[in-house]
Amino acid sequence: MEILEFILGVIEATAWPAVVLVAVFFLRKHLASILLTLTKLRYKDLELDFGRELRELGQQAEEAHLVTEKKRESRGGPKEPTELLDEAEQLAEEFPEPAVAVAWSAVESALIEAAESHADSDQHREFSPSRNIKFLADRNILDRRTLEVLHGMQRLRNVAIHERWNAFGGVSTREAYDFIRLARGICGKLIPNQ
């Protein structure tokens, strides 16, 4: 009798976890699509909210007097920041994460151009964005608020690209457009005559 009671106890203890595992297995495609639409996640002290951080950066950009309006004229040449930003806007509707990456590429391009305009050589094309940001900050070309916006945008770009398949869940189309607007503001400040 003890063996039967033991087996019954094991079955009772493992029944609900087994049902949950079977349900997750059969609903895995639906659960994956739901998880990919998340733009906010909270677990204990960890909270990821792309939209909230983007709004905060937008406020900082306004305080730093960054121009965030789209300018239609481009100076020509391949892959100018304005062209990259236009490409990002075309991507944003269907591919928001790549749109964020392309918009950040425009910022990187503007950082290179701004650093080269204040340097003796064109070596800044080989530098990382962080190094070009530091170069411009060390020469007081970038104010504190602009630096905060740049660092925040860089962090959000990394979240959008590298954490898409993790717990984050992706960037909405609206958030991609907001990120592009911030990128236009940064590019306008880095290259004023663009």
Query: DSSP secondary structure string, 97-120?
Result: HHHHHHHHHHHHHHHHHHHHHTSS
Confidence at 107, pLDDT banded by 50, 70, 90:
very high
Give the rounded percent of residues in the chain with a pLDDT score beyond 90: 24
Confidence at 76, pLDDT banded by 50, 70, 90:
very low
Mean pLDDT, rounded, for 32-42: 59
Q: What is the pTM of this model?
A: 0.61
- Residue 182: is its pLDDT beyond 90? yes
Confidence at 183, pLDDT banded by 50, 70, 90:
very high
Sequence-separated (6 or more) residues with CB below 8 Å from residue 161: 97, 100, 101
Query: For residue 113, which of 100, 97, 121, 124 has the smallest C-alpha distance?
Result: 124
Confidence at 59, pLDDT banded by 50, 70, 90:
confident
Contact 167, 48 (CB under 8 A): yes
Q: What angle do CA 138, 141, 144 make, to 5 degrees?
A: 75
Mean pLDDT, rounded, for 10-25: 79
